Amino acid sequence: MPTIALADDHIPTLKRFSGYFQKQTAYKVLIEAVDGHDLLLQLNTLQQLPDIILVDINMPVMDGVAVTYYLKLHYSSIKVIGVSVYSDENTLKDVMYCSANGYIMKGLAETILPKAIDTVMKDEIFIDPRIDIEPNKIKEILARRKKIEENENSFELTPPERQFVILNATPLTYDQIAATMFVETKTIQTYYDRVTKKLNVYGREALTLFSLRNGLTRMVDFNYNN
């Protein structure tokens, strides 16, 4: 039985998806989160991680793109399906370039959820067939995704430092980042000092811009030179 986590700031949609899965004997919902940060905090409390997370792309506090990229680094076993009301090329790029396993549109999503879940559980990428994008363009996006993944540069940052860099680019305070990473706030300051020295950038805003430009984090609607 696949276990599911949900993250969506639109409460009616969150309850709609939750209700759908609760009516299906094949799935079990473990988390209902109202934004990306809430999702990460709830994940920290679980003894067993969910198999799949459905995450809304456009959310406050920590958007779906940033949290998906964080999940892929820190919880690589979890399959992530991006969910959005939009079906344009830029949205698909946002979802694919953060290494999500799939993308579905919110409208009538219940009609394709079983197929989407079955596909990503097989380690295959699922893209909602209802999107209004030419097949050749989708192939280009997937090829670009592969190139991005193959050329990722960690800049010799440790895994905790990379996690910090992703969270640093969000509106979270350093106290909130510390709670997310299960460390003291002074440890976050240590991460900041180490990272800025390694990357030769100073200031939180400068670090955020550097990390976005160099693929150390992801954000909705950011242009990754594509």
- Its pTM stands at 0.93
Q: Do 3-150 and 159-213 show the same overall fold?
A: no
Buried b (16+ CB within 10 A) or exposed e, 41-59: ebbeeeeeebbbbbbbbbb
75 pLDDT exceeds 90?
A: yes
Length of the chain: 226
The top-level CATH class assigned to 159-213 is: mainly alpha
- In this prediction, residue 152 carries a pLDDT of 87
In eight-state DSSP terms, residue 40 is H
3 pLDDT exceeds 50?
A: yes
- In this prediction, residue 70 carries a pLDDT of 96
- In this prediction, residue 224 carries a pLDDT of 60
Segment 28-47 shows an average pLDDT of 96
- In this prediction, residue 222 carries a pLDDT of 73
Alpha-carbon span 190 to 100, nearest angstrom? 30
- In this prediction, residue 221 carries a pLDDT of 77
92 pLDDT exceeds 50?
A: yes
Segment 18-30 shows an average pLDDT of 93
- In this prediction, residue 214 carries a pLDDT of 93
Q: What is the pLDDT of residues 121-161, one digit of tens each?
A: 999 999 999 998 999 999 999 999 999 888 888 999 999 99
Segment 81-100 shows an average pLDDT of 94
Alpha-carbon span 78 to 147, nearest angstrom? 22
CATH superfamily of 3-150: Response regulator (3.40.50.2300)
Segment 116-123 shows an average pLDDT of 96
Q: 47-56, 60-69, 115-124, 214-223: lowest mean pLDDT where?
A: 214-223
DSSP letters spanning 65-82? HHHHHHHHHH-TTSEEEE
Domain ranges of the chain: 3-150, 159-213
Alpha-carbon span 140 to 121, nearest angstrom? 24
